Amino acid sequence: MNFEEMTEDEILYIANPIMDNLMEASTNIDHERHVKDFTERMKSIVTKEYLQNVCEQYQAEKGFFSEREVVAVFKRPESVAIIWKQSFTKAQGEFVAEMLLVYKQGKYLVDHAMVL
């Protein structure tokens, strides 16, 4: 799999539903659903307790995820980083949502994700 050979539209067709799931599962604090598209490395980091703590903190401070707009897609042969402008329901201003996708064992998997 060479991500440099894919168009941005092809990448976003894959990435957007994965990011939608991450955000919905985060909102619901559903660990099993949240990590379903994670690499083993990410699964080892995002434990059930870790997700619970992170979600409770951002929801109390910022509210829930709202609009998201693609800013950039950075293609590499073995991975792709997607950057979105992210909004929250309570916090004012613009935030950054990021996801690093890889292709392993016949699946597109998240090897890094964050919102700041």
| Helix %, strand %, coil % of the chain (to 5) | 40, 35, 25
Question: What CATH number does residue 87 fall under?
Answer: 3.10.450.50
Q: What is the pLDDT of residues 26-72, one digit of tens each?
A: 999 999 999 999 999 999 999 999 999 999 999 999 999 999 999 99
> Can you give the residue range of the structural domain that contains 105?
3-115
How many whole angstroms from its chain centre is CA 41?
15
Q: Is the pLDDT of residue 1 over 90?
A: no
Output the six-digit token pair for 107: 């699946």
What pLDDT shows up at residue 68?
98
Amino acid residing at 26 = S
What pLDDT shows up at residue 30?
98
Q: What is the pLDDT of residues 69-85, one digit of tens each?
A: 999 999 999 999 999 99
The total number of structural domains in the chain stands at: 1
